[in-house]
Amino acid sequence: MSDPHPDLLFAVLPLDDGGAQSEFGLTMAAHPLVHQELPYRPQYTVYNRRLTAMSMAFSTVDEAYWMLRRQAILRHTAELPIEIRGPDAERLLNLAFTRDISRNRVGRCSYQIACDDRGGLLLDGVLVRLAEDRFWYGQADGDLSLWLMALGRGLDVDIRDPGVWISQVQGPDSLRILEAAVDGAYPDPFRYFDAAWVTIAGQEVVVTRSGYTNELGWEIYLGPEIDAGAVGDRILEAGREAGLRPVAIGGARRIEAGLLNAGSDFDATVTPFAAGLGAMVDFDKPDFVGKTALENADRRCRTWGLRVPGGVARLGDRLSRHGVPAGRVCSSAWSPFLACGVAIVRLDEPDLGPGTALDVACLDGSDRPGKTCALPMYDRSRDIPRGRVVDIPDLPADVA
C-alpha cells in the first residue's frame, strides 16, 4: 500500500472515540512509532499479523544500504516477542529449542531455533532472559506461542503476547546514539548479545546488543506501559547529527551476512544442518523436539551464498549446473558494496559447496554465470557487530 490513506490507518491505529478499533486491528497492527514512518510514504506488508515497512519514498534501497553501513538507521520491526515465564519456563524452552537454555544467563540474549519431530526448522529468533523464570522470544514470522502452549501442557508456565514491539538502531554511529539517548548511565558492560535495562525519556526499557543487519547496533523493546512516543522522539533527537531517520532496509546486508529469513531461506522441510545452522544443535543437552531425527539426519550443509556479476538472481528453482537443475534461489538482492548480485541458495546436491559455478536466471531475463561462496560473505568472525572493527566502507565513485 503506497501513500497510506487515513481510512487505512483507522484500521490499524487506535481511534479517538474511546480507543475503538475495527475488526482488522489484530490482523494488521501498526508499530506504536508508525507516525515516524508515515512522512516517508512507506509501503507496508503484513508480518506476524503486524505491519512492517518494505520500502519508503525519498531514499532508494542503495541509499538506505549506505546509511546503514556508514552512519545509522532506525527501523521499526514487526518481530513478535512472546513472553514465557514461570517455574518451568527454562524446562519448556529446553524442550522447544535445540540449544541449552541454561547457558543463557540473565541479562543475555541467544539465537534460538525450534524444530518439529522430523527435525524440520519451524522458526528462529532471539531469546532474551530477563530473570531466572522470565524470557522474551522475538520470533520471526509465524506463531510459536501455540506450539509452546502445546508442549507446555502440565508445566507451570505462562505463555502470552506481552504487547511488546521492537525497534532497532543499526550502524557505526548506533552506540553513540544510545549513549546520547539514555537519561543516566550508559550500560556497562554492554557486549554483543547483552541485554540491559536503561531509562530513555523517563521510561525504563530493555535494550539489547542485537539486530538483523550484522552491523554494530542495538534493539529496544517497547511494552504497552511505555510512552513510546517520548522514547521515539528522544532516539531521533539523539541521532540527529548522524542523520538518523526511519528506513526500510532491503535484503542485501543480511544476505551478505548470511542471516536467514524464515519462510524463504528455510522452512519445515529443511533441517538445521541443510540450512547451515548445525552449530545451533546441542546434542549434549537432554531431549528436545526433533533430537532423534536430527541425530540420524544428513549433517551436510546445502545452503550457501551466491555472487552473480552484473545481475540479480530471480527467486525460485532457476539454478542449473551443466544444464541440469542444481538448486533454488531463496533470497536475492543487489549489493552496492560488493557491486554484484548476492543471494542465499539451497543446492540439491549436498556434496557441492563454495566455488560451485552455476547458471543463474536473473531478474532482467538474462542467464548469467554465478559462483557459490561461504556465508557470511565477509566479516566471518562477526567483528563488526561485536564492535571489534569499525568498518566504514568508502562510497563508490559514482555515488560519492
Walk me through the domains of the chain, giving residue ranges and CATH numbers.
1-25 (no CATH), 31-299 (3.30.1360.120), 301-379 (2.40.30.110)
What's the confidence (pLDDT) of residue 134? 98
- 265: confidence class by pLDDT, cuts 50, 70, 90: very high
Q: What are phi and psi of 30, to 5 degrees?
A: -105, 145
The overall pTM is greater than 0.95: no
Binding-site positions for substrate read 219
What's the confidence (pLDDT) of residue 143? 86
Interhelix angle 174-181/228-238, rounded to 10 degrees, is 120
Closest residue by Cα to residue 75 from 217, 283, 229:
217
Would you give the DSSP letter of residue 355? Answer: T
> For the segment 26-59, what is each residue's pLDDT rounded down to a tens digit?
678 999 999 999 999 999 999 999 999 999 988 8
H/E run at residue 125: strand 121-131
Average pLDDT over residues 304-331: 94
Rounded mean pLDDT of the chain? 92
What's the confidence (pLDDT) of residue 23? 59
- 391: confidence class by pLDDT, cuts 50, 70, 90: confident
- 9: confidence class by pLDDT, cuts 50, 70, 90: very low
Binding-site positions read 219
Average pLDDT over residues 363-381: 96
What's the confidence (pLDDT) of residue 373? 98
Lowest-pLDDT range, 17-21, 138-142, 219-223?
17-21
